[in-house]
Amino acid sequence: MAPNASDDAPIIRGDDVVKEYETGGQLVRALKGVDFGIAPADFVAVVGPSGSGKSTLLNLLGLLDVPTRGDVRLRGTDVATLSDRERTNTRKDTIGFVFQSFYLIPTLTAVENVEMPRMLDRTPKRTRERATDLLERVGLGDRLDHYPDELSGGQKQRVAIARSLVNDPDILLADEPTGNLDRDTGDRILDLFDEFRAEEDVAVVTVTHDAYVADAADRVVNLIDGEVRPADEAAAEGST
């Protein structure tokens, strides 16, 4: 993919995005003016030391928060102009989330966990079909009725990926999705990202500390102290 692939028709873009937090009279500048653009089927890895603003960036991309200054636009709409309710609905239609710790509900089976985000939709038949199809595609067609504690770590993460896709999102946001998995299992997760990017055009943005995940991405965003830095500079700072 061309390095500037995200320049044309991005799903979401940010211009000079600043995010500040104020706690106890202290101002923390978590993002100091970053630009980003995520195009359909992009695969972007966000790397950087602890405290550099990775989660803050993911929260903005996931419409969980709005910038202090600068614009975040989702298909042209400034997210700061949306009400909380509009933002919640837009998030549900647009964004899927995957986390390091899976966050499956222990009392629900695999297929019920995948159905969770659609529970209030009152379309149980279609929801069951979509959930079953997704679990088959992640290789768990024979584990539909298993509970999370009957599944391996890699299987749990595959259930979580199926769940993240149940509402046909445009972007999948993943925070350390391979952090609790061995290399082979992590590779399987990367294969799934590739499949869903190709088959559903879903973009993947992942925070990662795993070099093999960053190597597999189309682009790497290096965050240092709230700013995007070139890769070599980031590597130099990271080693001090």
Minimum Å gap between C-beta 25 and Mg ion is: 24
Q: Which residue has the tokens 């030391």?
A: 49
68 binds ligand ADP (CB under 6 A): no
Of the pair 55, 90, the CB lying nearest Mg ion is at 55
User: CA-CA distance, 107 to 59, in Å (whole number)?
Assistant: 28
Of the pair 30, 140, the CB lying nearest ligand ADP is at 30
59 binds Mg ion (CB under 5 A): no
Minimum Å gap between C-beta 77 and Mg ion is: 26
Of the pair 26, 107, the CB lying nearest ligand ADP is at 26
Of the pair 14, 53, the CB lying nearest ligand ADP is at 53
Window 36 to 55, contacts with ligand ADP (CB under 6 A) = 48, 50-55
| Residue least distant from Mg ion (Cβ) | 55
Q: What is the DSSP string of the chain?
A: --TTGGGSS-SEEEEEEEEEEEETTEEEEEEEEEEEEE-TT-EEEEE--TTSSHHHHHHHHTTSS--SEEEEEETTEEGGGS-HHHHHHHHHHHEEEEETT----TTS-HHHHHHGGGGGGS-HHHHHHHHHHHHHHTT-TT-TT--GGGS-HHHHHHHHHHHHTTT--SEEEEESTTTTS-HHHHHHHHHHHHHHHHHH--EEEEE---HHHHHHSSEEEEEETTEEE-HHHHHHHHT-
68 binds Mg ion (CB under 5 A): no
55 binds Mg ion (CB under 5 A): yes
Instruction: Tell me which of 1, 21, 81, 93 binds ligand ADP, using CB under 6 A.
Output: 21
If contact means CB under 5 to 8 A according to the sort of partner, which of ligand ADP, Mg ion, none does residue 51 touch?
ligand ADP
Of the pair 51, 153, the CB lying nearest ligand ADP is at 51
Given the rule CB under 5 A, which of 8-16, 46-54, 104-112, 182-190 is the region that contacts Mg ion?
Answer: 46-54
What are the residues binding ligand ADP (CB under 6 A)?
Answer: 21, 23, 28, 30, 48, 50-56
